[in-house]
């Protein structure tokens, strides 16, 4: 009886620790998706642009544009510039 309870507890703990990283990754992805959605909505609100179709593609365009602008800003501020 004691061996069965110990085995059952061990299996339950292994299952929980197997699921823990998956749940953590899903929570992080959900948080990042929420932040990206807020950023895209903010950009659309500021510019006054209302996309009626293909919202996903417009979102990718906004993220691409923001990434390019961020990388360009890093290059301009870089201490290795020869200006």
Q: What is the pLDDT of residue 40?
A: 80
Predicted pLDDT of residue 72: 61
Question: So what's the pLDDT on residue 25?
Answer: 95
The pLDDT, as a whole number, for residue 3 is 82
Residues of the chain with pLDDT under 50: 83
Exposed, middle or buried by CB within 10 Å (0-12, 13-18, 19+), for 66? middle
Question: According to the model, what pLDDT value does residue 36 have?
Answer: 82
83 falls within a domain:
no
State how many domains the chain has: 1
What's the chain's average pLDDT? Answer: 80
Domain, as residue range, for 47: 2-77
Question: Taking the model in full, what pTM does it have?
Answer: 0.57
pLDDT of residue 24: 94
In a domain, 10, yes or no: yes
């Amino acid at each position: 009886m004691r061996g069965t309870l110990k085995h059952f507890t061990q299996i339950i703990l292994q299952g929980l620790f197997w699921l823990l990283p998956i749940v953590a990754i899903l929570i992080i992805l959900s948080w990042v998706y929420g932040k990206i959605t807020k950023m895209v909505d903010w950009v659309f609100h500021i510019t006054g642009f209302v996309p009626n179709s293909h919202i996903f593609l417009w979102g990718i365009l906004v993220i691409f544009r923001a990434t390019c602008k961020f990388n360009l800003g890093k290059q301009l501020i870089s201490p290795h510039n020869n200006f």
